[in-house]
Structure 1
Amino acid sequence: MDADLDILAPIGPLTEWLDAHVPELGNGPLRTSLLSGGTSNVVLTLDRGEKPMVMRRPPAVPPPGAEKGVLREARILTALNQTDVPRPICYGSCADESVAGAPFYVMEKVEGWAPNLRDEKIHNEPPFDTMPYEYGIPFAIVDGLIKLANVDHEAIGLGDYGKPGPFLQRQVDRWAGQLASYKERYGYEGRELPGYAATEEWLRGNVLPNETRGIIHGDVGTPNMMFHHGPPARLAAMIDWELSTIGDPMIDMGWFTGGMRDEDEPDREFPTALNNPANFPTRQELGRYYCAGTGRDIRDFDYFGVLAKFKSGCLLEYKVAQAEAGILSKETGRFFARIVEQCFVDTGRMVERLS
C-alpha cells in the first residue's frame, strides 16, 4: 500500500469487503495507485492479480455533498449495467465509511484514451487531432447520447432518480435563482449582461409543451469521454456522471454542441475550447444525427441550445463573483467574465433569430 494513499485505511476491512463483493478483482494482495485526485473526488486503481479496477471516493476532506454524490453516481452506473450505453461497469458500492474511510464504489478500468485540456483548449490524441479522424469524434459521442436517450429509465430502476414534475418548466427559475444567489453568497451586486433579459423572457415564453423524460448525463464534453485506441473514432465510455439526473435528455445536446460552428452564421468567429473547430461538424449536423437516432423533432434543437447557454452563463458568473470577492484572481475573473458575456450575446442573437 502506498504511504500517500492512507485515505484508504484501514486496509483489512476494505480487503474483506472486496473479497465479498468484487471477486472479479482477484484475491491477491491489494496494490493501489493514485490515478487522479481533486477537490470533489479521488480516483485510485485497485489491483489484486486479476483485472485492475478503479475506486472512486471523496477526498480526505470532502466538499459538502461529496459522499452522497459518490453513491448517486454508483447508483446510475449500476443501473446502466443493464444497458448498452458506453460507460464503466460498476462492480459494487459501499456506504459504510468504516470500510475505507468514506463511501466509495468500484468500477471497470476502461482501456482507451481521453482528450485533455491544456492552454484552455481541448486536444485529442493523434491521429484524432487531424482530419478525417477528428471529424468522427463528436459523432461517436452522439452515438452514446442516442443510446442513453433511448434507455427506459423507469425499467432499469431510475424512476425516482430525478425530481418529479416537468423538468423544462423549472429550468429558468433554477438558473436565474443560481445567478441571484451570488449576491448573498459573495456580496456580489452583479453587472449588466446584454442579452440576458431577452434570453430569459424567450425561454419562459417558449417552453416545449411536450417534453421527453430520460437520463441526462449533465456534463457532456470530450474531456468526459474515453475512446478506443485506433481509428475510426469509437466511444469506449462516458465518465463523470456526478451531474446526471432525469429530465429531457436533449439538453445534453445543447450543452455539447454549444461551442461548435453554426450553419446559420457560417462566417462568424466564436470562442470555443475546441483546438480545431473547423475539423468538427456543425451543431446542426449533430442535431440532425441525434434526432434521426432518437426520433426527436429537430425543430426543438435550438430551444435546447439557448437553454444550455443560459445555464452555462448563469453558472459561470460565480467565477466573476468570486474574483470580485477576492477568492479568485482578477485575471481569472476577467477570463470568465468574457465567457459569460459571450454566452448571453450568443443567446440574445439566437432568440432574435428565432422570434
Structure 2
Amino acid sequence: MTSTHIDVGAIDFAALGAWMDAQGLPGGPIIGTAPVLGGTQNVMVRFERGGRAYILRRPPMHARSKSNEVLRREARVLAALRDTPVAAPRLVAAQTAREPVFYLMEPVAGFNPSTGLPEPHASDPAIRHRMGLEAAAALAELGRVDPAVLPGFGRPEGFLERQVPRWLRELDSYGELDGYPGPDIPGLPETADWLIRRTPRTFTPGIMHGDYHFANLMFASDGPRVAAIVDWEMCTIGDPLLDLGWLLATWPSNSGHVPGLPPPRDIIAYYAALSERDMSAVEWYAVMACFKLGIVLEGTHARAYAGKAPRDIGDLLHATTLELFGRAREFMEGALG
C-alpha cells in the first residue's frame, strides 16, 4: 500500500487542511501524522483532525507516469462501493480534478496476515480455518455488485477471449530486453492451447478486484471476518470468477502466516453457495490465473537479465512462475474436482 520511505514532512498539510475545510469536514489542527507501510509505491499517511482519523493516499513525490490515473480509478471504485456491503475501505473525499490526485479514507480496524497473526487468531485454529472461508465470502459479495455502478469501466465484451492472446503478447515483449534468452517455462504452449480450447463461451460481467489474494486482505482484529479488501488499482469490469481463480492460484502460498486454512475445494464450495455464477468451468479460471500471474512474474526475470532488476529476485520469481505452471497442470488434470 505504500513505500517504506515516506517523507511525511514533504506533504503540504496546510493546503490539505484548507481543502478539507472546503469539503465540509471537521476542522482544527492536523495531528498524529504517521506513514502507513505496505506494498506499492503510493504514499499513505494516517492523521487525525477534528476528532476524526483519516488515511491520505496520494502518489509518491516523484510520481510514476500513471500514478495519478491509478488513484483516479481507485477513488472512483471506492466511491462506487461505498454504499454496498463490500468490505472496501470507506472513501471520505477525493481530489481528482487536478494533480497530484489524492483521496481520504477511513482507517481500517484490522490487520494484514502477511505481518503475522495477533490473538485470538494465532492460537485458535477454528478462526484461522474460517479466515479462508471469509476470504471467499468477501469475494462473492463483490461479485454480486451491479457493474452499472461503474459505467464505462473496463471492456467486458470479449474479456475472456482476450486473455490468452493478451498475455502471450506480454511474454513476447520481454524479448526486447537485452540478454533475455526467452521463456524457459515447461508446459507453456500446452497450457495456452488448453485455455484457448476451453474458454467459457459466456459469463456474467461484474466488478473484478484484479489482484485478489491474502496479501490484499485485512482481517478483523477480533475474529475471522474480512475487514477490508485493499489495493484496488487493478480493478476492472470483467469476469469475477477470475478473481476466484487468482485466489486459488495463490492458495495458500500467498496467505502470509496463516496455518490451517481450508483446502481449495472448500473455498470453491463456499463461494458457490454464496454466488449464482456458473461454476462449471472453475478449473479454467484457476489455470488462467496461474498462466497470467506466471507471465507477469517472468517479466521481472527478463528484466533481471537486462540489469533492470536484481538477479536473485528475478531467479526467485522465475521459480515461482514454474511452480504456477506446475499448479496449472494439476488443475488441468482435475485437482479441483
TM over 0.5: same fold?
A: yes
1:164 deviation in Å?
4.6
The answer on whether the counterparts of 1:309 and 1:344 sit within 8 Å (CA) in structure 2 is yes
1:330 aligns with 2:308: no
- Residues 220-261 of structure 1: CA deviation (Å, up to 9, x unaligned): 122211122223x11111111111111000111111122437
Instruction: State the AA in 1 paired with 2:17.
Output: T
After superposition, where does 1:244-323 map in structure 2 within 5 Å?
A: 244-260=235-251, 272-274=253-255, 279-323=260-304
Letter in 1 for 2:22: A
Deviation of the 1:83 alpha carbon: 0.6
Question: Who is 1:165 aligned against?
Answer: 157
Q: SS where residue 53 of structure 1 aligns?
A: strand
The answer to whether 1:143 aligns with 2:137 is: yes
CA contact (8 A) 1:110 1:236 kept: yes
- Residues 102 and 330 from structure 1, CA distance in 2 versus in 1: closer, same or farther, beyond 3 angstroms? same
**Percent of aligned positions with the same letter in both sequences?**
32
2:226 alignment counterpart: 235
Structure 2 CA distance for aligned equivalents of residues 322 and 251 of structure 1: 27
CA distance in 1, matches of 2:39, 2:226: 25
- 2:126 is paired with a residue whose SS is coil
Write out aligned runs for 1:65-76 (5 A).
65-76=66-77
Quote how far apart the aligned CAs of 1:290 are.
0.8
Matched, 1:7 2:1: no
Aligned partner letter, 2:23: H
* Whole-angstrom CA distance in 2 between matches of 1:106 and 1:337: 37
Distance (Å, rounded) in 1 between the aligned partners of 2:320 and 2:189: 17
Matched, 1:113 2:111: yes
| 3-state DSSP of counterpart to 2:37 | strand
Task: Name the structure 1 match of 2:23.
Answer: 21
Amino acid at match of 1:215: I
Q: Whole-Å Cα distance in 1 between the matches of residues 332 and 100 of structure 2? A: 46
CA RMSD of aligned residues (A): 2.1
Conservation of the 8 A alpha-carbon contact between 2:287 and 2:331:
yes
Please give the TM-score of this superposition, normalised by the length of structure 1. 0.86
Partner in structure 2 of residue 129 of structure 1 = 122
- C-alpha separation between the residues in 1 aligned to 2:40 and 2:146? 33
Distance in 2 separating the partners of 1:225 and 1:191: 32
AA aligned to 2:290 is K
Distance 1:190 1:104, change over 3 A: same
Q: 5+ residue gaps in structure 1?
A: 118-122, 262-271
Supply the distance in 2 between the matched residues of 1:61 and 1:275 (Cα, whole angstroms): 30
Deviation at 1:128, TM superposition (A): 1.9
1:76-122: CA deviation from partner (whole Å, max 9, x where unpaired): 0001012111111111111255xxx71101111111222125xxxxx
How high is the TM-score relative to the length of structure 2? 0.90
Name the structure 1 match of 2:41.
Answer: 40
Q: In the alignment, is the contact (CA less than 8 A) between 1:215 and 1:245 conserved in 2? A: yes
Q: In the TM superposition, what is the alpha-carbon distance from 1:278 to its structure 2 partner?
A: 6.0
Q: Is the 8 A contact 2:41 2:60 kept in 1?
A: yes
SS of the equivalent of 2:51 reads coil
**Residues in 2 aligned to 1:142 and 1:164: alpha-carbon distance in whole angstroms:** 23
Question: How many Å separate the matches in 2 of 1:47 and 1:143?
Answer: 32
Q: 1:143-194: per-residue Cα shift (whole Å, max 9, x none)?
A: 111111001120x2x1211125121110111111111111124552313211
- Corresponding residue to 2:200 among 208, 213, 221: 208
Q: Structure 1 pair 8/278, CA: closer, same or farther in 2 (3 Å)? A: closer
- Write the letter of the residue equivalent to 1:223: A
Q: Evaluate the alpha carbon distance shift between residue 204 and residue 82 of structure 1 in structure 2; reply closer, same or farther with a 3 A threshold.
A: same
Counterpart residue number, 1:188 = 180
Q: How far apart in 2 are the matches of 1:256 and 1:39? A: 19
Q: Unaligned 5+ residue runs, structure 2?
A: 1-5
Instruction: Report if aligned partners of 1:260, 1:281 keep a CA contact under 8 Å in 2.
Output: no
SS at match of 2:36: strand
Q: What's the CA shift string for 1:278-320, capped at 9, x where partnerless?
A: 6111111111111111112332211110000000111000121
User: How far apart, CA to CA, are the structure 2 residues paired with 1:37 and 1:237?
Assistant: 14
Q: Distance in 2 between matches of 1:342 and 1:277?
A: 20
Deviation for aligned residue 1:199: 0.5
